[in-house]
Amino acid sequence: MKNVSACLCMLTIGMAVSIAPAFAADGKTFFINKCGSCHKSGGEASVFAPTKYASTQWERFFQANKHSRIKDIGSLLAPDESTAVKDYLKTHAADSDQPEAIGLK
Protein backbone atom coordinates (compact mmCIF):
# COMPACT_ATOMS: atom_id res chain seq x y z
CA MET A 1 0.00 0.00 0.00
CA LYS A 2 2.91 2.36 0.74
CA ASN A 3 4.30 1.71 -2.76
CA VAL A 4 0.97 2.65 -4.36
CA SER A 5 0.81 5.86 -2.33
CA ALA A 6 4.40 6.73 -3.22
CA CYS A 7 3.71 6.09 -6.92
CA LEU A 8 0.60 8.26 -6.86
CA CYS A 9 2.49 11.03 -5.10
CA MET A 10 5.33 10.94 -7.65
CA LEU A 11 2.84 10.86 -10.54
CA THR A 12 1.04 13.92 -9.16
CA ILE A 13 4.31 15.83 -8.75
CA GLY A 14 5.40 14.84 -12.25
CA MET A 15 2.13 16.08 -13.73
CA ALA A 16 2.40 19.40 -11.86
CA VAL A 17 5.94 19.94 -13.12
CA SER A 18 4.97 19.14 -16.72
CA ILE A 19 2.00 21.54 -16.60
CA ALA A 20 4.02 24.55 -15.36
CA PRO A 21 5.93 25.16 -18.63
CA ALA A 22 2.70 24.90 -20.62
CA PHE A 23 1.14 27.58 -18.40
CA ALA A 24 4.11 29.88 -19.03
CA ALA A 25 3.81 29.26 -22.77
CA ASP A 26 0.13 30.20 -22.62
CA GLY A 27 1.08 33.54 -21.04
CA LYS A 28 3.37 34.22 -23.98
CA THR A 29 0.67 33.12 -26.44
CA PHE A 30 -1.94 35.37 -24.80
CA PHE A 31 0.58 38.23 -24.74
CA ILE A 32 1.31 37.88 -28.45
CA ASN A 33 -2.23 37.17 -29.65
CA LYS A 34 -4.34 39.32 -27.37
CA CYS A 35 -2.09 42.11 -26.11
CA GLY A 36 -0.65 42.36 -29.60
CA SER A 37 -3.92 43.82 -30.86
CA CYS A 38 -2.80 47.16 -29.38
CA HIS A 39 0.91 46.66 -28.66
CA LYS A 40 2.27 46.21 -32.18
CA SER A 41 3.53 48.43 -34.96
CA GLY A 42 0.61 50.54 -36.06
CA GLY A 43 -1.41 49.61 -32.97
CA GLU A 44 -2.87 51.95 -30.36
CA ALA A 45 -0.10 51.37 -27.80
CA SER A 46 3.68 51.22 -27.87
CA VAL A 47 5.46 48.03 -28.85
CA PHE A 48 7.25 46.45 -25.90
CA ALA A 49 8.89 43.29 -24.61
CA PRO A 50 8.90 41.69 -21.14
CA THR A 51 12.42 43.09 -20.68
CA LYS A 52 11.10 46.66 -20.81
CA TYR A 53 10.80 46.52 -17.01
CA ALA A 54 12.22 44.64 -14.04
CA SER A 55 9.90 42.13 -12.37
CA THR A 56 9.23 44.47 -9.43
CA GLN A 57 8.28 47.23 -11.86
CA TRP A 58 5.82 44.90 -13.61
CA GLU A 59 4.39 43.97 -10.20
CA ARG A 60 3.92 47.64 -9.23
CA PHE A 61 2.39 48.39 -12.63
CA PHE A 62 -0.27 45.69 -12.19
CA GLN A 63 -0.86 46.43 -8.49
CA ALA A 64 -1.55 50.05 -9.36
CA ASN A 65 -3.94 48.83 -12.07
CA LYS A 66 -2.40 51.35 -14.46
CA HIS A 67 -3.38 49.42 -17.56
CA SER A 68 -7.09 49.78 -16.84
CA ARG A 69 -6.80 53.57 -17.02
CA ILE A 70 -5.86 53.25 -20.67
CA LYS A 71 -8.00 50.34 -21.82
CA ASP A 72 -10.31 47.89 -20.12
CA ILE A 73 -8.48 44.61 -20.69
CA GLY A 74 -11.30 42.74 -19.01
CA SER A 75 -13.01 42.57 -22.38
CA LEU A 76 -9.88 41.12 -24.02
CA LEU A 77 -8.56 38.71 -21.39
CA ALA A 78 -10.31 36.28 -19.07
CA PRO A 79 -8.99 36.42 -15.48
CA ASP A 80 -6.85 33.28 -15.95
CA GLU A 81 -5.42 34.67 -19.19
CA SER A 82 -4.61 37.96 -17.50
CA THR A 83 -2.83 36.10 -14.71
CA ALA A 84 -0.87 34.08 -17.27
CA VAL A 85 0.24 37.26 -19.09
CA LYS A 86 1.27 38.93 -15.83
CA ASP A 87 3.26 35.85 -14.82
CA TYR A 88 4.88 35.71 -18.27
CA LEU A 89 5.93 39.37 -18.12
CA LYS A 90 7.38 39.06 -14.60
CA THR A 91 9.07 35.72 -15.30
CA HIS A 92 10.80 37.11 -18.40
CA ALA A 93 11.49 40.64 -17.12
CA ALA A 94 14.85 42.37 -17.53
CA ASP A 95 16.12 41.20 -14.13
CA SER A 96 14.82 37.63 -14.39
CA ASP A 97 16.78 34.43 -14.90
CA GLN A 98 15.03 34.07 -18.27
CA PRO A 99 14.83 37.55 -19.83
CA GLU A 100 12.95 37.58 -23.09
CA ALA A 101 13.14 40.44 -25.54
CA ILE A 102 10.24 39.35 -27.73
CA GLY A 103 8.43 42.33 -29.15
CA LEU A 104 5.08 42.42 -30.81
CA LYS A 105 5.00 43.12 -34.52
Q: Is the dihedral of CA 60, 70, 34, 102 positive or negative?
A: negative
Q: Is 53 a residue whose pLDDT tops 70? A: yes
Higher pLDDT, 41 or 83: 83
Higher pLDDT, 91 or 23: 91
Buried b (16+ CB within 10 A) or exposed e, 15-29: eeeeeeeeebebbbe
Planar angle of CA 69, 62, 31, nearest 5 degrees: 90
Average pLDDT, integer, range 27-43: 83
The one-letter amino acid at 102: I
Binning pLDDT at 50, 70 and 90, where does residue 89 land? Answer: very high
Whole-number average pLDDT of the chain:
74
